[in-house]
Homo-oligomer: A and B are copies of this chain.
Amino acid sequence: MGVNGLMMQMPLLVSSLLEHAERHHKDSEVVSRRTEGDLHRTTLKEIAGRARQLASALTELGVQQGENVATMAWNNYRHLEIYYAVSGMGAVTHTLNPRYSPQQLIYILNHAKNRTVFFDQTFAPLVKGIAAHCPTVERWVMMVDEDKMPAELPTENVLNYEAILAKGDAGYVWPQFDENAACGLCYTSGTTGNPKGVLYSHRSSVLHAMVAGQPDGIGLCSKDTVLPVVPMFHVNAWGLPYLAMMTGFKLVLPGPRLDGASIYELLEAEKVTLAAGVPTIWLGLLNYVQQNNLKFSTFNKTLVGGAAIPISMIRALDALGVSTMQGWGMTEMSPLGTISKIQGPDLNLPKEEQFARIAKQGKALFGVDMKIVDEAGSELPWGGEESGELLVRGPWIIDSYYGGGGEKAFSIDDSGKKWFATGDVSRIDSTGLMQITDRSKDVIKSGGEWISSIDLENIAMAHPAVLEAAAIAVNHPKWTERPILVVVKRPNAEVTRDELLKFYDGKIIKMYIPDDVVFVNELPHGATGKIQKLQLREQFKDYQLPE
């Protein structure tokens, strides 16, 4: 290349988000429900000052640039301060998911060689249980007012957050360094094997926030009030803590209380305009609102992700004046890849048409490219009925796992482009609207066609006698695989194999209809309630299809 542009060279750093907020949105509020029980109010200016103090104090304690510093915490202002202090000083904010098993947490803490772990007092019992197995940890920092420290501490070397912070210098200056430096670490657990780490960079996190903020992304302005119900230990609360500083909106952090009543109270009291969370949360909120015949005063937009949202929920939210957007992504994608939302002239479409579109996973945000491929890795066309394995690429999408592993997910195509396999099977329409039809490991590959296990299950579940159903592949000499349906009947309900297979007529093309139905008393479930299809396939591996 010949010539470089002559514009200022300024790295995209997490600290640059905070510096912007401190100068240009200093009075924006951060409201937190604390584990101490009260509602705490502060401003971005105060957060910025305390983050500098904390960074200074951590430097004094010997925390190094590039070092992983762990948190086990709810959404609250201290967690936000840690995000910025740790990343801003050049260390790595490593958010631990406290819902992992103690064994997984011990594995992760050892793998990441954490020396410092911040924790909310709720998690003291967890710390007590794992501390002895975490030899790298030198200090456990309890995020609580100094006068609320319990008499009995969960382990040795427990420090108090406020006491540490008070020793720091608010005049600390954020160091400038390469924007490709790591800023965050989040482990993700597959169905098998140990959790794997995803190491975000300052660049990827800032670019992700810049795209998440767009009108075709989440679309937030400085006048919004945002409640991230999605935890800050779950892919950085979908990037909202970064977007908050970039945009200067008011942030409402719900702490440990995520039930319908508590969320409703915050939405109303703090005049929230957008809340973000998984479908389960909205189910709890909707139940509470409907049972008590309540309304929303300001809450009118929700971002739902983490799992597919049922149309019935989109409809129920709409009836309460809340428009839904669905975000799809992964820990490996920072997380946003696509957003499904209705705006502009599409707001004039029939409501049910709008809901059906929102229920799909959406269009790619700028920066993210996606494609669907067949088993040979060849790109499949968009706009047809064909579904294929979904591959993605982009500047906030994983290049490799921290410490290795999962290499099979990465591939390079003929033009030299690197892609990450999401593990999802999808269809993309001619406008670029993507719909996930199955998980790769669950899809049934029959005579070159990919049959969605989810589609088969949804039809079965619509039958009044079916309590639960799983469609799985069994081996077939001619078609390689064929689907069978494993069904649990409702108590006192009856349905025969033939009746259930006939129920598929006209609802799906003939060759997708399962070859057989097996009735069982129960299906195997994992810790999060999902059907363990791997286990089911193992169970039926010698199953002989009827002639």
For residue A183, give the distance in angstroms from its CB to the closest CB of chain B. 7
In the assembled complex, the Cα of A302 lies from the Cα of B118 at a distance in Å of 48
Kindly specify which of A75-83, A214-222, A262-270 makes contact with the partner chain: A214-222
Q: Which residues of B contact A248 (CB under 8 A)?
A: 216
In the assembled complex, the Cα of A20 lies from the Cα of B211 at a distance in Å of 13
Interface set, chain A 154-200, CB cutoff 8 A to B: 173, 177-178, 180-183, 198-200
Q: Is the CB of A180 within 8 A of B4?
A: yes
A2-B65, A181-B1, A369-B20 in contact; A7/B432 too (CB < 8 A)? no
For residue A170, give the distance in angstroms from its CB to the closest CB of chain B. 15
Indicate if A519 sits at the interface (CB-CB under 8 A): no
For residue A64, give the distance in angstroms from its CB to the closest CB of chain B. 7
Which of under 10, 10 to 19, 20 to 34, or 35 or more describes the interface residues of A?
35 or more
In the assembled complex, the Cα of A211 lies from the Cα of B212 at a distance in Å of 11
For residue A2, give the distance in angstroms from its CB to the closest CB of chain B. 2
Q: Is the CB of A90 within 8 A of B399?
A: no
Q: How many copies of this chain? A: 2
Kindly specify which of A29-37, A341-349, A352-360, A469-477 makes contact with the partner chain: A341-349
Q: Is the CB of A8 within 8 A of B418?
A: yes
A369-B23, A398-B7 in contact; A2/B67 too (CB < 8 A)? yes
Q: Is the CB of A432 within 8 A of B1?
A: no
Q: Is the CB of B7 within 8 A of A334?
A: yes
In the assembled complex, the Cα of A522 lies from the Cα of B401 at a distance in Å of 73
Q: Which residues of B contact A6 (CB under 8 A)?
A: 182, 198-199, 201, 398-402
Q: Which residues of B contact A220 (CB under 8 A)?
A: 215
Residue in B closest to A347 when the chains form the complex, CB atoms: B223
In the assembled complex, the Cα of A395 lies from the Cα of B10 at a distance in Å of 5
Closest 3 CB pairs of A and B: A2-B66, A223-B344, A5-B201
